[in-house]
Amino acid sequence: MNPPHPSSAAAALLPFLLLLPHLLTAAAAPPPRPHPLNPLTPDELTLVSSTLTNSSTLTPPFTIHYVGLDDPDKPAVLSYAYSSPKTPAPPRRALVIARASRQNHRILVDLSTATVVEHVIVPNSVGFPTLTFEEQGEANNLPFGEPRFLESLRRRRLKAGEVVCGSFTVGWYGGGGGPKRRRVVRVMCYYKEGTVNVYMRPIEGLSLTVDLDEMRVIGFLDREVVPVPKAQGTDYREAAQDGPPRPKINPIGLVQPNGPSFTVDQHIISWAGWLFHLSFDARAGAIISLASIYDQQTRERRQVMYRGFISELFVPYMDLTEEWYFRTFLDAGEYGFGLCTFPLQPLRDCPENAVFMDGYIAGQDGTPVLMPNVFCVFERYAGDIMWRHTEALIPNITIREVRPEITLVVRTVSSVGNYDYIVDWEFKQSGSINVKVGLTGLLEVRGTKYTNMGQLTDEEYGILLAENTLGARHDHFVTFHLDLDIDEPPNSFVKTTFQTTRVMYPNKSPRKSYWRVVEKTAKTESEARVKLGSGQGDLLIVNPNKKTKVGNQVGYRLIPGSVTRPLLSVDDYPQIRAAFTNYNVWVTPYNKSEKWAGGLFTDESRGEDTLYTWSQRNRRIENKDIVLWYNLGIHHAPYQEDFPLMPTITDGFELRPTNFFESNPVLNVIPPEPVTWSNCSTAKAITMEWYLTSY
């Protein structure tokens, strides 16, 4: 969490805005038939903005909190993508979430007719939209016009010019259902003197409450004076490092002298039999759609995943003090996981052979904003082995066959305030999809008077990472929406158990036990829920209407990463809002409206519109078009190595073909020729070209 400062936001937007005219002309001649899932172009964003202004839908002043493609009907998209001849593309519509006259507005704009086709006012009791950069920036500036705040800084001997503030969503802690409900944030501040690592220098005990609609301070609290942790050793910039330099690593690179093996056609990426659509969304970030793989054995293109994206993140902190208890963020719904996606740095965030792609969002006033280099796409060779065997059993021959593992990675990095989330969608030639989430960036630390662990009590909710610096414990739950269509819908969800079985008749075998696989197809949503670590076997999405030649159901299986279960009480307010994390795995029937696990209006939500509540209907899911939801979780108890900046922690999961292919689909992979250095001029040119296009 935590937003950019307004002026920096402005600063950030400036270059993009300058670029825009050129881009608009570039975009002025769009392809005859845009793919129905393409994100809104700058033209379309402008069209949405003007449509709203021209229509009397919203009484000014209004703020636009989200503009994105409204999902076209799935059957229409499927037939557009897979039927031949192609059926016409379904109509393109934009979904707009706006705030006007203290109300939530949900608006659909038809892009072909430039008309508002739907306008719904959603009661404030449900929750509020994603915060905009601009309003966070304004809120972060308010303290500096607040005499009590400036007095508090003086009391602490802090220079106002060295203070920066951030807006913290406040969650929900009971009641508040009435129409008088206010859209507020708590504003808390940091001291940057001597460092850029402001998160390591919190000014504790001091907070303001801001009404975002009125954009004014409605509450002020100076509870206690706590020492501000010192700046020394917190600055992470290369230039700020002193002391002896570390042993240097020789240049090392991932290179492709002849260029990459994948093609990008608008938003369609094609590689090694894989075909998928990549788009950018202000709320979700990367969205992978229509992932299909060409089956060489059956010589057909086969559907795997209709859509995959990060639906929500839940980041609750385990600290009950006044300025901390409410820090139970739903990052995607409250701050916009896509909105917080910043440009990737060539040769640092992505290797030499990476190709970069841009995204667009709408500003608070509806203006299209370019987000450069939000994606990088590259082929990954990590020195790993796809498969191998050395055979020495056969007389007079020794066989050694080895295939290196080369994969395709789509990467985004979202910096939600202090935290940086590295999200990789990795496609393997074997048909697997690996999803990895890397957590790095800066911890939220709490200032304290203590300088040694000996002084601490249990109640301090953390350990000392440095003098006056407590590392706050917290969780990260990343909720993935995985709409798998294994050989097209309908599909079923099958849970297997590896069940220890006693040998009943001693004369039958000298063995006393073995394990067998017990399969159970989930008939309803409740039967599908899984808490990991409870001894489950494999978790499969199968197509019950298709079998392999020898009669196995075709499917994919979910291979989870680390086993992390939620630890908050189910009746605790944050957990009620984030009840979608009560289980690691959920399966629901496909429903166009069930997209955001934490609800469409997430800020200050009360858990009324979540994956949990949808799932309470306990619908039938057997042999239906179903969606798999996976909660990747990390309990983070910080240690000193996380100070002042965390080395990346990575977790992930895999979707792996499971009796999907008749046999190993990569047996006939041709090992790539070794890199030759003969044509480095080409290579150089290519590398430089990518490097330049990325600026």
Q: Which residues are catalytic?
A: 331, 419
Cβ-Cβ contacts under 8 Å for 242 (sequence gap 6 or more):
none
Cβ at position 275, least distance to a copy of itself in Å: 11
**What are the structure tokens assigned to 639, written together?**
């240690």
- Closest contact distance (angstroms) between CB of 100 and a copy of itself is 27
Nearest to 648 by CA among 455, 447, 439, 463: 439
Least distance from a copy of itself to the Cβ atom of residue 612, Å: 17
Helix axes 6-28, 133-141, angle to 10 degrees: 160
Q: Cβ closer to a copy of itself: 122 or 386?
A: 386
Burial of 402 (0-12, 13-18, 19+ CB in 10 A): exposed
CB of 533 to a copy of itself, least distance (A): 4
CA distances from 532 to 222, 437, 483, 556, 563 (A): 43, 18, 20, 18, 6
State the Cα angle at 612 between 609 and 616, rounded to 5°.
100
Q: Which is nearer to a copy of itself, 329 or 614 (CB)?
A: 329
Nearer to a copy of itself, 60 or 383 (CB): 383
What's the rounded Cα separation, in Å, for the pair 64 and 394? Answer: 71
CB of 399 to a copy of itself, least distance (A): 6
Please name every residue paired with 631 in a beta bridge, in sequence order, or none if there are none: 479
What is the Cβ-side half-sphere exposure of residue 354, based on CA atoms within 13 angstroms? 24
Listed residue (578, 614, 612, 579) closest to 169, CA to CA: 578
Other C-beta atoms lying within 10 Å of the C-beta of residue 297: 11
How far is it, in rounded angstroms, from Cα 618 to Cα 587? 10
Least separation in angstroms between residue 114's CB and a copy of itself is 34
Q: How far is the CB of 264 from a copy of itself (least distance, A)?
A: 15
115 Cβ partners below 8 Å, 6+ apart? Answer: 51, 55, 109
Q: Which is nearer to a copy of itself, 307 or 428 (CB)?
A: 428
Identity of the residue, 119 or 144, whose beta carbon is nearer to a copy of itself in the bound complex:
144
Compare residues 29 and 692 and give the one whose CB is closer to a copy of itself.
692
Comparing CB distances to a copy of itself, the nearer of 29 and 249 is 249
Q: How far is CA 398 from CA 60, 389, 390, 395, in A?
A: 79, 10, 7, 8
